[in-house]
Amino acid sequence: MKKNKVLLVEDVELVLHLQKTFCKRQDFEILTAKSGVEALDVAIQEEPDLIFMDHFMPEMNGDECCRKIKEIPALKGTPVVIVTSCSKPEEVERCQQAGCDEILFKPLTRQQFLATAYRFLQLSTRQAPRVHARLRVHFGIDPQQVLTDYTLNLSSGGLFLETERPLEIETPLTLEFALPDRSLPVRCKGRVAWINFPDHKRKPQMPTGMGVQFIDISLEDMHAIRDFIDKQDIAAFW
């Protein structure tokens, strides 16, 4: 099985922390670089599947390095995530114009990092950081026939819905639920990814219900879910 290569650039403390995290997983290979120039060389040689880099780095800043990476045909489609402590509009615009796929702001938590990595690498949502959450969800196939049940847990990739009325796998759904301390509800589309049947439970320790994967969700709602998850693990490491 091909390992996913993740290039981490510049922050030594972050690299050490994440090496410990990803070494537990056999499908990741961590590459490191300490500057923009070195990152460009490593990216050309290794062709990573995902790149995280600091915005302000020795020799070459993250936005300039990102621009050079995106100019290389073999690396043009490689997702680049820039992590910055600067929220000035002109700096954010520079990163966007450089072609970065996402901008994350410091302090960055472990949960936020992992959620971003899982999303860009399109890994199973069951591997994404998940927290216990009891949230009321309105869901259904037809907007005119809406059902209501409660979540057991929530991740940036989906949720487990505790229900005595699980739908068939691959059933498309519309979802709406509220997060604590947020005035606007999350509205998105999803699909039934797996079912915990009442008479044949795939996970005996869990109630009857279904795992739902998010397949169409706005950036604002995704950030709101991440913020909620981050509050469960607020120790920042970058």
- The domain spanning residue 218 has which CATH number? 2.40.10.220
Is 142 in the same domain as 97?
A: no
* 125 inside domain: no
Chain segment 24-55, per-residue pLDDT in tens: 554 578 888 989 999 999 999 999 999 999 98
Is 36 in the same domain as 87?
A: yes
- The domain spanning residue 62 has which CATH number? 3.40.50.2300
Structural domain span for residue 212: 130-230
Chain segment 96-110, per-residue pLDDT in tens: 999 999 888 887 766
Is 78 in the same domain as 155?
A: no
Instruction: For 146, list phi and psi in degrees, rounded to 5.
Output: -95, 135
Is 53 in the same domain as 145?
A: no
Going by C-alpha positions, the residue among 175, 53, 206, 160 that lies closest to residue 116 is 53
* 121 inside domain: no
* Mean pLDDT, rounded, for 162-190: 93
Q: Cα angle vertex 11, ends 15, 75, to 5°?
A: 80
Is the predicted pLDDT of residue 20 greater than 60, yes or no? no
Q: In the prediction, which pLDDT does 88 show?
A: 80
* 120 inside domain: no
Is 99 in the same domain as 143?
A: no
Is 73 in the same domain as 165?
A: no
Count of structural domains within the chain: 2
Estimate the share of the chain in helix, then strand, then coil, as percent rounded to the nearest 5: 30, 30, 40
